[in-house]
Amino acid sequence: MKDYLRASSYFDFDSSSVAEYGRELVGSESDPVKISYKLYLGVRDDIRYNAYTFETTEQSFSASYCLAQGESYCVPKAVLLCALCRLYEIPARIGLADVRNHLASPQFLEHLKSNVFVMHGYTDIFLEGQWVKATPAFDAGLCKLMNLSPLEFNGREDSIFHEFDNDGDRHMEYLKEHGTFSDVPRMLILESVAAAYPHLAEEVKVKSQR
């Protein structure tokens, strides 16, 4: 479990900004399940979801960078939640999966030229003797616009994307699990993104070398 409690350049809960944010969210709460719930809600709604914020630098995958930007996509948001859990000595790790978004916007479909999102990030948290998945990606405001109910998290059951929206239309389909990681596999993510979206491959390659 020590690997899931350490600080790193990505899970930088030892930075003053992340530590202070965690204390603001948790207050005097001491129960790990309730702490994880408070942290989840904070990351879900305080950091606005924006899929166009993808960057390739090492810094851009860190918890402190995500917090400072105030908006991000699924991977950095999952990293931030993971770092905050570790701040409170709750074991946590990042999980990655490929998903198909049946309700993706026309603009983003044009950007990716696909409705498959590779390397979707979620947080895997160890609570009460078991690992549970938490998905803090979509904030409540975005969910309202998308006709979705915001994902809830109770610390005891997996919280993953809804299969259908509130009208019963297909929303998110999980295609492939890549497993969980004690630290962010940045190069794996960049290589997968470049392979999945060839028209973006050269841009990703150039930026990853900076």
The predicted pLDDT at position 202 comes to: 65
User: For helices 186-196 and 198-208, what crossing angle results, to 10°?
Assistant: 150
pLDDT at 210: 46
Strands 71-72 and 48-49: parallel
pLDDT of the residue at 208: 46
Extract the residue ranges of the chain whose pLDDT is less than 70: 201-210
- State pLDDT tens for residues 111-132: 899 999 999 999 999 999 999 9
- Do the Cβ atoms of 108 and 15 come closer than 8 Å? no
pLDDT of residue 199: 85
Query: Can you state the angle between helices 32-46 and 74-87, rounded to 10 degrees?
Result: 150
